[in-house]
Amino acid sequence: MNQKHNFRLVLCIALLAGFSGFAGAAYDDLGVSARVMGMGNAFTAVADDAYSVYYNPAGLALLPRPEFGTAYAKLYPGLSDNSNLQNTFLVYAMPLDQGKQGGLGFGLDYFSLDSLYHETSLYASYGRDLLPGLLPDKLYGGLSLKYLNRGVNPGSLANAPVSDTGQILQGEVDPVLQNTSKTNIDMDLGLLYKLDPRWTLGLTVQHLLEPNIAFGSTPDPLDRNYKLGASYRTPFALLSGEIDDMTAPDYSREEIATFAAEKWLPTLQFGTFGIRGALSAGTQQYRALSVGLSYKIYKMEFDYGMTVPFGGIADMYGTQRIGLTFFFGHSRTPEPAFSEALLEDMGQLAEVGTPEFKAQMEDLARYQREAMESFLSRARVLSGQGRFADAYSEVQQAISISSTDATLQESAKRLMAVAAIYPEVENFSSDPVQVAVYEGILDFLSGENAAALKSLDYAHSISPSDDRIAYLRSIISGMFPGKAVPSAAVAPKAPASAVAPIAVSTAAAPPVTASAVSARAQSPAQSVAKSSAPASNQAAAQASAAGSEIAADTALMEVALSRQEYGKVVKLGRQIVQIDATDESAYLRMGVAYYALKRYSEALESLRIASRLARDEKTRKELDSYIGQIEDIEQKASEAKAAASPEDIESLYNAGVEFYAQGRLKESARMFQRILQMDPQNESAAKALKRVNAEIMESGESGGAQ
């Protein structure tokens, strides 16, 4: 027998058969899952797959469907004696009665050192909800019953023991190596507690029975390992932390802390990719980096994990593990037959736009500029009518789109000051005081402060008891102290009728001059002339003003719709239909907004009106189709839970990918729509649904998922 083989055999016997006090190395916690290896084995509070049989049997209670997994690892390659350490694990787990009775799992763990030494562990595990009546879906427990067997194949050394000096004593019998197999029964205990759908705590106690694993007569109990962890989960990401209290090979206690992260990157055509990593540190100078990758498609998942220690055995390259998992049947997560997604389709139908703004739909910046110009135009008209509070509101609307222009802010500031005292000036075409006040306000809004003060002085001389005139004059003088105020003018306290100023927004807008907002639409003389004009002319002017208001609101609706500001869409739509109850596009846009806000009853009402007002048969048919599907959604949504756990969302996404891979596009669309009902902000599901809908249309299939 060569010297290297002798050395490996002596090392094997010394470490694993009880020599030199190192028998604690038996049944070391090496892990069994490639995915979990990439997480530094920080899996106690995760336990969401079949490998929970090994890591935390309580996780079997949450298993969505049957799984079969296999993993293989070559441990610690690079050892100087070329030792071949290998580990193989097989596992099968399944929910019982769709999880109502918990979950059951079976596993085989096999570890070997060449042909010299082996360890075999058979697992029979069960997990379930512990307090279904008191704390449903909160506390889970699990138990793994283990059959342990380990053995040494000493070969010729059983009859040729090794002396203290390392010499082989031929012709003698080694009493220890005459009994080279040992069998034990052991148990692991696991607990999971879900603080909420995202946060979970986990506890595992390994080697609960502390079996005596010694080959000889000297007792050698297998000490317990304690693992405490916490995890935070989103639909496609996971953070996990864990602290392990374990027995080291020299029988001392070692604490290891690990922090791990996992991210899934779903794609519709190419499956789902996973990346993960972890850092670990222990009390006995243990430091390690772990990384891992996964690829999941249809009902199969491939995993790779690697752990590299920062210190320890020289020339050791780290441990690598590969794994393959198969999934069977359908997830036990509820999959109600929701209608296919409508939001994208209805949104496209609603983006027809008015002739004034359709040309700008592809250029949002220009489109916003058109909308602001409409608001400012309306502000000019309202100022000319003496409705300064309404004009101020229009300027605020323009600013809200996007503005940092100083002149527009200045215009808003002046309008705010006026509107606080004179929300509206009436009788400015006939009453001399109101005429002078009106003239002064328009001068002030145009930036002509001296002329404004002169007109207000004249108004105050006619009506000296009107405190509002004096107060407005003092405000103008206070805002612009460079403009002297005649000594006769006294700044009174604000009259009780004054409206509290409104804070001016500082959002941005393109350059607009103050006069663009406040230029006089008409003089008092022109107002008088207008009042005496034929009624037909007045009606035409009113219709023109109404049309301008509708055009501006329509512009802003389209901007808000493109930004997904659905509440604003609804508000503007209501304003339009108050002016013109036959505006089909306003009802259609409101229907889209209500649908996005999950206000299905109001969405149906708006779309039904839009359908009645539709000018062509094709649009009417499309709307009727959407209405029917929303009616179905409304009925089912009222029966669904208000929120779903990340596990539910991930299961639905995987089901959608599976249906897509099978070419079952409508079923796939239903799964992604279900996710959006639970989580409207789920971008992955929204993108996947858009792709599926496009393929449904290209294939010529009519309607959506039934």
User: DSSP letters along 556-603, please?
Assistant: HHHHHHHTT-HHHHHHHHHHHHHH-TT-HHHHHHHHHHHHHTT-HHHH
Residues in Cβ contact with 272 at an 8 Å cutoff, skipping those fewer than 6 apart: 264, 265, 266, 294, 295, 296, 297, 654, 657
- This model's pTM is above 0.75: no
Query: What does the DSSP assignment read for 228-276?
Result: EEEEEEETTEEEEEEEEEEE-TTS-EEEEEEEEEEEEEE-SSS-EEEEE
Question: CA-CA distances (angstroms) from residue 544 to 231, 391, 566?
Answer: 63, 17, 28
300 in the same domain as 177: yes
205 in the same domain as 66: yes
- Sign of the dihedral defined by the CA atoms of residues 516, 517, 518, 520, in that order: positive
307 in the same domain as 415: no
Contact 242, 94 (CB under 8 A): no
Copy the structure tokens of residue 551.
């055009």
Domain boundaries, position 445? 386-520
Q: What mean pLDDT do residues 304-311 have?
A: 87
Q: With 50 as the cut, is the pLDDT of residue 638 above it?
A: yes
User: pLDDT-based confidence at 241, cuts 50/70/90?
Assistant: very high
> Whole-number mean pLDDT of the chain?
77
- Sign of the dihedral defined by the CA atoms of residues 448, 451, 455, 457, in that order: positive
469 in the same domain as 393: yes
Of the three residues 309, 327, 345, the one that is the final residue of a domain is 327
Runs of H (alpha helix) within 357-483:
364-384, 388-401, 406-421, 432-445, 449-462, 467-479
Assigned domain for 516 exists: yes
390 in the same domain as 315: no
User: pLDDT-based confidence at 47, cuts 50/70/90?
Assistant: very high
Q: What is the spatial distance between Cα 416 and Cα 333, in angstroms, rounded to a whole number?
A: 57
Assigned domain for 367 exists: no
Q: What is the spatial distance between Cα 70 and Cα 89, in angstroms, rounded to a whole number?
A: 6
- Residue holding tokens 């009042």? 531
74 in the same domain as 214: yes
Q: What is the CATH number of the domain that holds 16?
A: 2.40.160.60
113 in the same domain as 242: yes
416 in the same domain as 320: no
pLDDT tens track for 55-107: 999 999 999 889 999 999 988 776 656 678 899 999 999 999 888 899 999 99
Assigned domain for 395 exists: yes
Question: CA-CA distances (angstroms) from residue 201 to 194, 230, 262?
Answer: 6, 4, 17
User: pLDDT-based confidence at 289, cuts 50/70/90?
Assistant: very high
Name the residue with higher pLDDT: 385 or 541: 385
Question: CA-CA distances (angstroms) from residue 264 to 196, 235, 294?
Answer: 21, 9, 9
Q: What is the spatial distance between Cα 615 and Cα 105, in angstroms, rounded to a whole number?
A: 63
Q: What is the CATH number of the domain that holds 674?
A: 1.25.40.10
Assigned domain for 417 exists: yes
Total number of domains in the chain: 3
Q: With 60 as the cut, is the pLDDT of residue 511 above it?
A: no
Of the three residues 485, 502, 520, the one that is the final residue of a domain is 520
Residue-level length of the chain: 706
434 in the same domain as 322: no
pLDDT tens track for 592-633: 888 888 788 888 899 899 888 888 888 888 888 778 877 776
**Most trustworthy range by pLDDT among 44-48, 162-166, 575-579:** 44-48
418 in the same domain as 299: no
pLDDT tens track for 449-494: 888 888 888 888 888 888 888 888 888 877 655 443 333 333 333 3
Residue 61 DSSP symbol: G
Residues in Cβ contact with 552 at an 8 Å cutoff, skipping those fewer than 6 apart: 371, 374, 375, 377, 378
Phi and psi torsions of 140, nearest 5° = -125, 145
Of the three residues 480, 501, 520, the one that is the final residue of a domain is 520
Assigned domain for 532 exists: no
pLDDT tens track for 125-154: 999 999 887 877 889 999 999 999 998 876
Q: With 60 as the cut, is the pLDDT of residue 228 above it?
A: yes
Residue 147 DSSP symbol: E
Assigned domain for 31 exists: yes
Return the closest-CA partner of residue 54 out of 92, 95, 97.
Answer: 92
Copy the structure tokens of residue 403.
């503005």
Residues in Cβ contact with 161 at an 8 Å cutoff, skipping those fewer than 6 apart: 168, 169, 172, 173, 174, 177
94 in the same domain as 10: yes
Assigned domain for 264 exists: yes
pLDDT tens track for 372-425: 777 788 888 888 888 888 888 888 877 776 556 677 778 888 888 888 888 888
Assigned domain for 314 exists: yes
Return the closest-CA partner of residue 516 out of 370, 357, 371, 375.
Answer: 375
